[in-house]
Each structure stands twice: as C-alpha cells, then as structure tokens.
Structure 1
Amino acid sequence: MRSSGLPPESRRDELTSYVNQVHTARVEAMADAFGVSAMTIHRDLDVLAGEGRLERIRGGARAITARLAERDVRLRRHLNARTKQRLARTAAELIEPGAVIALDDSTTVGELGPHLESRRPSTVITHSLALMNTVSAQSSIALVGLGGQYYAETDSFLGSVVVEQAQRLTADAVFVSTTAVKNQALLHPDAEAALTKRALLKTGGRKILIVDSSKFEGTGLYHVMGLDEFDDIVIDDQLAPELLALLKSLNLTIHLAASSPKD
C-alpha cells in the first residue's frame, strides 16, 4: 500500500481503515505502508484521535472498539463506516417519493441523510439533531423534529417528551437500527433510547431495520421490538448462514447490501 500521492483527508480515511483492519499499528509500520514520513503519520494520528476516529497509544494507534464507541456518537459515526454507507445506499431504495418517513438517531440510519434529496420523501420525522440539520437545508422536504431532553452522547432528543410527540404522528415507513440483535429481538443498552425507538417504530406502517451483521448475537439490556414485527431488514452480506436462515424463517423481506472490493 502506497498512498504518498493522496491529499491529507483521503490519506487519513485510508489510514483509519487500515488501523481498523489490523486493530493496532505502530507509526513505523504505517509510515512504510503509506509511503510517508513518521512525522506525517504522527500529525495524521493527532487529527484522527481528535476526531474520535482512532485511539492514540504509545508508538502508534489502535482501532476504536464497538464497546468504547457504543455511547459516543462521535466515535460510532466512524465505526464500520463503509458498511453503514453500503447499508444506507440499499435502504434508500425503499424510500418512496412523496412518502412520510421516520428516522431514528442511529449512526447507521444517519447515513440516509445524503440520499434524501434524490429519493424525495415529502416529510421526515426524526429525533436526531444531525438529521434535522440535514433535512432543514433541503427546501423540498418538510421536517418534523421531535424535541425533548438533548443528549450529546447520541446527538439526539430522547425520553418521555419525544415519546409523547411520536404518539401523535403517523409515517408511511420508519427506519431504525440498534446496538444488538439477539433472541429474535432488537436490544439496546440504554433505557431512554430503547423507549424512544419503540415509540418511533409505532408511528410507521412499514417497519424497516437497517443493521450490520456484527450486531447479531450482541448484548443489550432493554427490549425494543421483536424481529417478527418488522417488514424489511437491510443487512450486509457477511451475516452467518444460520442467522440468515433464521431471518428468512421470520417472513421478513431481506435486502442484502453487497460488499465492495475495498471492504
């Protein structure tokens, strides 16, 4: 791998992917892999650590693990980023022009933001502040923002006030993700988040789960909703065959996001 000709931002994206693949890397190895100086790598790592994309360690860097990133939206946005983008591209095809859609605050669903203008829903309902900012910049899409207690860790509004607002709304389709899928159910480690996701799901006629295969058989304390209550699931093609067979037995419509050569 030689990336000495890349602009800094592109090199840092590649550097993040490299560290995520090898988990832990020393400065010297990264400098050799990318064909740049150790000083350049040090500067890149300082920037990436500041953005929450990598963790700085003595002599190098290591990947941000799912456990570390779970409660910090800044870190979660960079975890499995390419897979999330592929999932969002596939899920965007399920947005009907003119539809009213509800989107949760997950970073996976957040990747739908760049696709909204081309898919042309009439209205977006969301409790994600990032998505509110995205939709508000698009004059052709109406925005219904669900407000309440703001949580910086998720960059969203959660809790009973959001739930009460959601109960007054109806959407044609609702898109959600979660941190864990186990025992044929969505689970989440945070009670307020689980409560809010459940309320948002009840607004939708068509319930769509967007989730990467690494979330299966994970751990979570609070029940959100059973898989059998969903109409569609968008998932990457790395799911274990036995789990894919389980999904097929639940009468879900399965949409596989294919891997690209760079993944």
Structure 2
Amino acid sequence: MLAIERKNEILAILQKEQRVLVAELSQKYNVTEETIRRDLEKLEKEGFVKKTYGGAVLNSNTNLDLPLRIREKTNKKEKQIIAKIVAELIEEGETIMLDSSSTSLMVAKNLKQIRKLTVITNSVEVLIEFAGNKGINVISTGGMLRESSLSLVGKTAERTLMNFNVDKAVISCKGIDLDKGITESNESEAEIKSIMRKCAKTTILAIDNSKFDNISFIKVGDLNKNDIVITDKMLQDKWNQYFEEREIKVIAE
C-alpha cells in the first residue's frame, strides 16, 4: 500500500471512530510504529488530527473539511442504505438537484436505472457517474473547482442554480442541531446547498446518524415542513418530537 493510501485510510478510520492508536495501526498495515507516527505528523500539519500519547484524535474544528475521497470511505454502509431510500423517492420524469456530498454520489449510482430524469449538480463526480446514461439529462452548474470536494462553487454556480425550479433537491450536511439547524464546514458549499433548497419544491436531507447533534462552521438553514429527512437509524425521542412538531417527514431504516 502506498503511503498516501494508508494516510487516507487512517483519516477514514478517524472520521468514524474519532481516535486511533499507533500500535494498532502498525499491526493493521504491517509497518513500523515510527512509520505510523510520521503519517500522523503529516496529518497533524495538514490540520486534520491532533496527536496524543500513543495515537491521535480527529481535529474537532467546526470548519474541518475532509477531502471527498476520505468521506466516501466513511460510514459507507450507512450512506448506501440512505442512498437507496432516497433513490426510491425520485420519480421518473422529475427534475432534481444533487449537491457535492459523498452521499449524493451514492444516490446518483442508484438513479442510473431511471429512464427519464433531469439532474442539475455542482458535483464533478456526479457528472462523471451519469456520463453515458442517455435517459438522464445532466446539467452542470459550472463555477470554480474546489479540489478537495471535487465540487463547483462560487457566483457562476450560484447564478446557474437560481435559473431553475426543480421537484427535489438532495443535499447532505456536516451537522444538524436542534437549535442551530443544518450546518456545513465550508461557506461556499453552504451557499450552494441553501440555493438548492430555495429552488426545490421538496428538499431531501440525506444524513447518517453521526451528523445529529453536531454543529459545523456555517449555517445552511432551518428545517421546514417541505423537507424529508432520510437517515440510517431510529432517532432519539427529542428528534422525533422536533420533527413531529414541524410536520417534517422522517424515514429511518
């Protein structure tokens, strides 16, 4: 395994478990503990982790924005469950928007069998995923490329989105909180998601259980009764009450 691949896998483990131990990683990857320490030092310099005695923990900064390649590996089974449910809510002939989240990419993989669909997206990966599907009309937002997320953002992307009115927008987020609402780690991504919500009759919020009770850097918006929340586990009573009071539909696997 290449060093960059090992480092990415370590980040994926940290994203899911929040902490790692040098000794365990050394055994897992069959390398010396010194090699693992160097990996963690590099991740610390990049701002992703904080080294601790014998290991490291994930940096808890609210504006931490992990690369898409890492997010694709995190909570993969949970996202696959969510993506399948979301795809079942998309009807043939509809117009939809997909954001640049790793969950939306999985949704795209589940939509490829639909014979007629229009998709507007700022995700480079989603554009590639739909390439060659004749029944799916794909519209790119254009805009400036964010390398870490392989997304198109900025004023051009925002203006393109505002030209359209669609049936559904599928978005994810970094955190959702009872008081702070839907939050993201990056301002430009948050603006794209906010505009998508305004352009859609219905917003499908596709979020795995790890996002609940988390607060990230910038607010995308509050939940409303036109939203549908899709998640992979049954929710705590406080969340069920919150959604019931606001007439928000929730589907939990």
SS in 1 for 2:243: helix
Which secondary structure does the structure 1 equivalent of 2:133 belong to?
coil
Residues in 2 aligned to 1:88 and 1:133: alpha-carbon distance in whole angstroms: 18
C-alpha displacement of 1:164: 0.5
CA distance in 2, matches of 1:17, 1:190: 22
Q: Hey, what does 1:260 align to over in structure 2? A: none
Looking at structure 1, the residues matched to 206 and 239 of structure 2 have their Cα atoms a distance apart, in angstroms, of 15
Post-superposition offset of 1:117: 1.5
Asked if 2 retains the 8 angstrom alpha-carbon contact of 1:95 and 1:119, the reply is: no
1:185 corresponds to 2:185: no
> How far did residue 204 of structure 1 move?
1.1
Q: Kindly report the root-mean-square deviation, in angstroms, between the aligned alpha carbons of the 2 structures.
A: 3.7
Q: Name stretches of at least 5 consecutive residues in structure 1 with no aligned partner.
A: 1-12, 50-54, 258-263
TM-score, scaled to structure 2: 0.76
Q: 1:146 to 1:22 in 2, by over 3 A?
A: closer
Amino acid at match of 1:217: D
Tell me what 1:3 maps to: none
The equivalent position to 2:127 in structure 1, one of 132, 140, 144, is: 132
Q: Give the 4+ runs in structure 1 shifted more than 2 A.
A: 16-31, 36-39, 60-71, 118-121, 220-223, 238-241
Is the counterpart of residue 213 in structure 1 residue 209 in structure 2? yes
Amino acid at match of 2:142: G
The total of aligned residue pairs comes to: 237
Aligned partner of residue 112 in structure 1, secondary structure: helix
Matched, 1:203 2:185: no
Which structure 2 residue ranges, 5 or more long, are not aligned? 1-8, 43-48
Counterpart amino acid of residue 67 in structure 2: D
Task: State how 1:1-263 maps to structure 2 within 5 Å.
Answer: 20=16, 23-25=19-21, 70-182=65-177, 183=179, 185-228=181-224, 230-257=226-253
* Percentage of pairs with the same residue: 21
**For residues 143 and 204 of structure 1, do their structure 2 counterparts lie closer, same or farther at Cα, with a shift above 3 Å needed?**
same
CA distance, structure 2, for counterparts of residue 18 and residue 178 of structure 1: 18
CA spacing shift, 1:206–1:22, aligned 2, 3 Å = closer
**Which deviations, in whole Å up to 9, do the C-alpha atoms of 1:62-92 show, x marking residues without a partner?**
7867769733222111121211111111111
- Aligned residue for 2:210, secondary structure, equals helix
Q: What TM-score does the superposition give when structure 1 sets the normalisation length?
A: 0.74
SS in 1 for 2:189: helix
